Structure 1
Amino acid sequence: MTDTSKYKLNHSMIRVKDPKRSVEFYEFLGLKVINKIQNPDAKFDLIFLAYDGPKAVSHGNHWTDREGIVELTHNYGTEDNADYKVSNGNTEPHKGFGHLCISVDNLQAACTRLEDAGYKFQKKLSDGRMKHIAFVLDPDGYWVEVIGQKPLEETESVKDTDTGSYRMNHTMIRVKDKDASLKFYQDIMGMQLKRTSENPNAGFNLYFLGYGAPAAENAPSGVSATADHEGLLELTYNYETEKDASFKYHNGNDEPQGFGHICIAVDDLDAACARFEEKNVNWKKRLTDGRMKNIAFVLDPDGYWIEVVQNEKLKTRSNW
Structure 2
Amino acid sequence: MATDTSKYKFNHSMLRVKDPHRSVKFYEHLGMSLIQKIPQPDAKFDLYFLAYDSPTAISPKAPWYDRQGILELTHNYGTENDPDYKPANGNSDPGRGFGHVCITVDNIQAACQRIEDAGYKFQKKLSDGRMRHVAFALDPDDYWVEIVSDNKVEDTEGIKETDPSTYRFNHTMIRVKDHTKSLRFYQDILGMSLLRTSESPSSGFNLYFLGYVPGADNDVNTKPLEGVLELTWNYGTEKDEGFHYHNGNSEPQGFGHLAISVDDLDAACQRLEEKGVSWKKRLTDGRMKNVAFVLDPDGYWIEVVQNERYKATSKY
Please indicate the TM-score interval, normalised by the length of the shorter structure.
over 0.9
Question: 1:94 and 1:104 mapped to 2: Cα distance?
Answer: 29
Correspondence for 1:10: 11
Aligned partner (choices 247, 268, 271) of residue 272 of structure 1: 268
8 Å contact from structure 1 (residues 294, 317) kept in 2: no
Correspondence for 1:309: 305
1:184 deviates by 0.4
**TM-score for both structures, normalised by structure 1:** 0.96
Give the SS at the match of 1:179: helix
Give the SS at the match of 2:136: strand
Give the SS at the match of 2:101: strand
Correspondence for 1:116: 117
8 Å contact from structure 1 (residues 215, 226) kept in 2: no
1:34 deviates by 0.4
Q: Deviations over 1:4-30 (max 9, x none)?
A: 011000000000000000000000000
Correspondence for 2:254: 258
Distance 1:128 1:292, change over 3 A: same
Distance 1:217 1:269, change over 3 A: closer
Aligned partner (choices 236, 247, 251) of residue 240 of structure 1: 236
1:152 deviates by 1.2
Distance 1:54 1:3, change over 3 A: same
8 Å contact from structure 1 (residues 286, 296) kept in 2: yes
Give the SS at the match of 1:144: strand
Give the SS at the match of 1:141: coil
1:53 aligns with 2:57: no
1:242 deviates by 0.5
1:317 deviates by 4.3
8 Å contact from structure 1 (residues 310, 317) kept in 2: no
Matches within 5 A, 1:1-320: 1-212=2-213, 225-318=221-314, 320=316
Correspondence for 1:222: none
8 Å contact from structure 2 (residues 207, 232) kept in 1: yes
Q: Deviations over 1:118-175 (max 9, x none)?
A: 1000000000010000000000010000000000122123211111111100000000
Q: Deviations over 1:287-313 (max 9, x none)?
A: 010000110000000000000000111
Distance 1:212 1:73, change over 3 A: same
1:318 deviates by 4.9
8 Å contact from structure 1 (residues 194, 214) kept in 2: no
Identity of aligned residues (%): 69
Alignment RMSD, CA only?
1.4
Question: 1:298 and 1:309 mapped to 2: Cα distance?
Answer: 11
Question: 2:51 and 2:176 mapped to 1: Cα distance?
Answer: 26
**How many correspondences in the alignment?**
315
The answer to which of 70-79 and 89-98 deviates more is: 89-98
Give the partner amino acid of 2:7.
K
8 Å contact from structure 2 (residues 195, 218) kept in 1: no
8 Å contact from structure 1 (residues 216, 226) kept in 2: no
Distance 1:279 1:34, change over 3 A: same
1:214 deviates by 6.1
Unaligned runs of 5+ in 1: 220-224
Q: Deviations over 1:213-263 (max 9, x none)?
A: 5679998xxxxx210000100000000001000000000001110000000
8 Å contact from structure 1 (residues 174, 237) kept in 2: yes
Question: 1:249 and 1:276 mapped to 2: Cα distance?
Answer: 23
